Amino acid sequence: MKFAALTAAALVSTTSAFAPMATPRQTTSLNVWGDKDYLIAPSILSANFAKLGEEVDNMLEAGADVVHFDVMDNHYVPNLTIGPMVCKALRDHGVTAPIDVHLMVSPVDAAINDFIDAGASYITFHPEATNHIDRSLQLIKNGGCKAGLVFNPATSLDYAEFVKDKLDIILLMSVNPGFGGQAFIPATLEKARAARKFIDDNGLDCRLEIDGGVKVDNIKEVAEAGVDMMVAGSAILKEPRTKEAYKVTIDAMREELAKVGK
């Protein structure tokens, strides 16, 4: 990475994935990379952008694990959001937590390089948004980042089959991409169970992430479907926009996750 200010912790997050059928690392009881079974990743799409550095500091101090960074181009999806300069600004601000860049842009390869340089830790993209899925995944991994594919509600998981050796993350959209604050699509739970089976059957050291409509009252059900990284935007980043308020929500989510399997 050209971005020099990443700490050792952020660099650890960029370790490449094992090949298919490799023995997963025994770092968590779920046998996934990282130091926790479940990662909570608030989406800064719901942040107050006039105070973005403060918002990110507060959510991390409140117990969030990952900064989820939604990039939209008003082409692949009907919205326009933020780019690599904002990612770099967060690193310059002092953010050392993993930054999970979700590219909702087409084409993707130029954006991948820009976000590698800006200090991204994980980069995911939609298979429909590139002409060469394998090449784009390899580009991410060559830059030292975790790589993953994003599946819209109607997109088949079949895209993952022949690039599974390059997948560190499978991200399932539980809303249609483009806007925050949408309701969770229940059929995503069936898809999550299928994705979990795919990961387990192939012995992949791969996180299963979900994005859209996750909140305190459904996060346990989401985890029981096999998901281990949860994106939540408006469920966490909302008024009164204080560290204490964010902690109340994140703690409540952790309490629900602690009930999984019990």
Confidence grade of residue 182 (pLDDT, cut at 50, 70, 90): confident
Is 93 annotated for ligand binding?
A: no
Q: What is the pTM of this model?
A: 0.89
Annotated binding-site residue? 68:
yes
Question: For position 178, what pLDDT does the model report?
Answer: 80
Rounded CA separation 79/74 (Å)? 4
**Do residues 68 and 42 make contact, with C-beta atoms less than 8 angstroms apart?**
yes
Summarised one tens digit per residue, pLDDT across range 23-71 is: 444 457 777 898 899 999 999 999 999 999 999 999 999 999 999 999 9
The answer to whether 230 and 219 are in contact (CB under 8 A) is yes
User: What sign results for the dihedral spanned by CA atoms 21, 24, 29, 34?
Assistant: negative
> Strands 229-232 and 67-72: what pairing?
unpaired
Structure tokens given for 128: 């429909």
Per the annotation, does 115 bind a ligand? no
The DSSP string of 170-228 is: EEEESS-TT-SSPPP-TTHHHHHHHHHHHHHHTT---EEEEESS--TTTHHHHHHTT--
Q: Which two tokens stand for residue 41?
A: 């990743």
Which band of pLDDT confidence, cut at 50, 70 and 90, is reported for residue 195?
very high
**What is the pLDDT averaged over residues 188-211?**
97
Residue 248 — φ and ψ, nearest 5°? -60, -45
Q: Which residue has the higher pLDDT, 117 or 179?
A: 117
Average pLDDT, the chain: 90
- 148 marked as binding residue: no
pLDDT at 180: 73
- Mean pLDDT within 174-203: 93
Phi/psi region, residue 126 (left: phi>0; alpha: psi -120 to 50; beta: rest), is beta
> Structure tokens of 190?
């069936």
Active site residues: 70, 211
